[in-house]
Chains A and B, each alone.
Chain A
């Protein structure tokens, strides 16, 4: 079998796998365009019979989505920066040594992430209110998200540092680099891809964070998009088509940016850098 045929076959299989996996995304797009009752019709309709195209502008304007998305961006960027600054060094050290203290450190970091946000939010809220942090609600949410996602980041980035050969760093120390110098010149660049992928994953989580934001941010001007999404849920009514349209507007660009970024990050770069 020639390479060309192999490639075509592989691509066909890949497309099929992607089509199956992306079905829920497709269903989100289609449901947004259906009427509120058509989504409950038996048998299911794979294309909306009366597509409601006006829904996107309605959702955007009625919820002032630009402001919500901006707040999501502020919160996500803040949380990612905080996590990266605190987490990279921690992961680096935990990868550099192999002793009982590292065990303890790793253990603690994992342990601290165990409870779902819904159970953590009450004590965090009480604590924050005592220290006046709720006066700056977006900052409070950034702190809470950073605490929630940092363990994830540390464990992943540590695994990346594990694949940076120790000898390279030792060679740099012999060449007269300080520890700080070796960290910034050798270890950090070599672990760049793992750090970036982890940071992007965290960014997306923080972008969609809901539980902390809805409790701590009371002013609608400061709330992120995830809280805005829930304004379509009422006591007896759930406006599913509006919810799906809203989600479409917010998922699509993030997904597009990720597809572009991950291509550069995951493929190619790593293997070259590690030679």
Chain B
């Protein structure tokens, strides 16, 4: 008994307890709902059987049906493009801004805080505002591009199938940049200054210092941010609802919006669940990549 108490206060038991408690919490509140979705994807579901697990089992029928639909493949490709372009844009702009504000100058810390505005604004409002900014006729983006002579005629960002997905990507990059920037700022400020001083004495250029000190020291932060960026991007819903509704003609539709549309617009819950299982598989792959990347982390 004493041994157990000792273990909990001072040994491995302490560590295991700290991890297992939250994992159990997550399992109940996130794991079970996930399982519910997976189970549903193999069943025939309607509004009357939402409350129970006992439903007719249909095997892989939902999956077969789904992949027979002509829009499935384009929507999966859209999702891949949306995720990769959004993450790349958010990370690069966010890192650039974090580095810029890291160089100390008066007012830097105040202005940096303002960038978090995109994190606070409600999804409904962000969607509506970007809807107007990207609007073809009265949109402010077209207005600036026209005034500066970049474009001659209006681009219908939302309604031209060639641009509609990019319209949402632009808005999503804006949305995610602040989160990348603020966390990268925290990571940057945790790097001991003396490392840079030593490198400078050794005659390293700014670029060399960035690649030999900054990037390796930031490794765990960057891994975490990209992994989370993936999840946020895959969960992005408000922008699709606010800007294009997945249209025109599915040209800006992605899995998460489609799953919602099937479940809550067409009340085809099983199909919606089937898409969510496909999303789970995608994130599983990405999670493996993230977890592997943590293997090479440097503990500070």
**Contact of A262 with B227 at beta-carbon distance under 8 Å, contacts A112-B34, A197-B183, A274-B190 already known:** no
Partner of B111, one of A18, A117, A127: A18
A180 touches B9 (CB 8 A): yes
- What residues of chain A lie closer than 8 Å to B137, measured between beta carbons? 42
From 88 to 122 in chain A, residues with beta carbon under 8 angstroms from any chain B beta carbon are 89-90, 92-98, 103, 105-120, 122
Once bound together, how far apart are the Cα atoms of A251 and B263, in whole Å?
A: 31
A123 touches B120 (CB 8 A): no
Residue of A nearest to B297 (CB): A162
**Contact of A156 with B228 at beta-carbon distance under 8 Å, contacts A120-B33, A263-B109, A270-B190 already known:** yes
Q: How far is the CB of A257 from chain B (nearest CB, A)?
A: 10
Of B15-23, B79-87, B197-205, B245-253, the one touching chain A: B15-23
A151 touches B26 (CB 8 A): yes
B224 touches A107 (CB 8 A): no
Of A49-57, A60-68, A140-148, the one touching chain B: A140-148
Once bound together, how far apart are the Cα atoms of A120 and B31, in whole Å?
A: 10
Q: How far is the CB of A84 from chain B (nearest CB, A)?
A: 11
Residue of A nearest to B20 (CB): A90
Q: Which of A17, A111, A166 has the most CB of B within 10 A?
A: A111
B26 touches A11 (CB 8 A): no
B228 touches A111 (CB 8 A): no
The yes or no answer to A172 lying at the interface (CB within 8 A) is no
B224 touches A14 (CB 8 A): no
The yes or no answer to B124 lying at the interface (CB within 8 A) is yes
Partner of A24, one of B37, B50, B133, B228: B133
Residue of B nearest to A262 (CB): B113
The yes or no answer to A155 lying at the interface (CB within 8 A) is yes
The yes or no answer to B237 lying at the interface (CB within 8 A) is yes
Partner of B116, one of A13, A180, A194, A262: A262
A229 touches B124 (CB 8 A): yes
From 1 to 57 in chain A, residues with beta carbon under 8 angstroms from any chain B beta carbon are 6-7, 10-11, 13-15, 17-18, 21-25, 27-28, 31, 39-44
B21 touches A159 (CB 8 A): no
| Interface size classification for chain B | 35 or more
From 131 to 167 in chain A, residues with beta carbon under 8 angstroms from any chain B beta carbon are 143-144, 146-148, 150-152, 154-156, 158-160, 162-166
A159 touches B221 (CB 8 A): yes
Partner of A123, one of B36, B129, B224, B283: B36
- What residues of chain B lie closer than 8 Å to A155, measured between beta carbons? 224, 227-228
Q: Would you mind naming 24 contact pairs between A and B with Cβ atoms under 8 Å apart?
A: A6-B105, A13-B100, A17-B111, A21-B114, A93-B16, A110-B290, A119-B37, A119-B260, A119-B276, A120-B34, A120-B37, A160-B190, A179-B15, A193-B189, A197-B182, A197-B186, A208-B122, A243-B125, A255-B120, A259-B113, A259-B116, A262-B112, A263-B110, A274-B190
Which residues of A are at the interface with B, using a C-beta cutoff of 8 A? 6-7, 10-11, 13-15, 17-18, 21-25, 27-28, 31, 39-44, 86-87, 89-90, 92-98, 103, 105-120, 122-124, 126-127, 129, 143-144, 146-148, 150-152, 154-156, 158-160, 162-166, 178-180, 183, 193-194, 197, 201, 204-205, 207-208, 210, 226, 229-230, 233, 238, 240, 243-244, 247, 250-251, 254-255, 258-263, 265-267, 270-271, 274-275
Interchain residue pairs A-B with the least CB separation, the first 10: A89-B18, A147-B29, A259-B113, A123-B33, A123-B36, A112-B30, A163-B300, A10-B105, A86-B22, A114-B283
Which residues of B are at the interface with A, using a C-beta cutoff of 8 A? 9-11, 14-19, 21-23, 25-27, 29-34, 36-37, 50-51, 97, 100-101, 103, 105-126, 128-130, 132-133, 137-140, 143, 174, 177-179, 182-183, 185-187, 189-190, 192-194, 217, 220-221, 223-224, 227-228, 231, 234-235, 237, 256, 259-260, 263-264, 269, 272-273, 276, 279-280, 283-284, 287-288, 290-291, 294-295, 297, 299-300
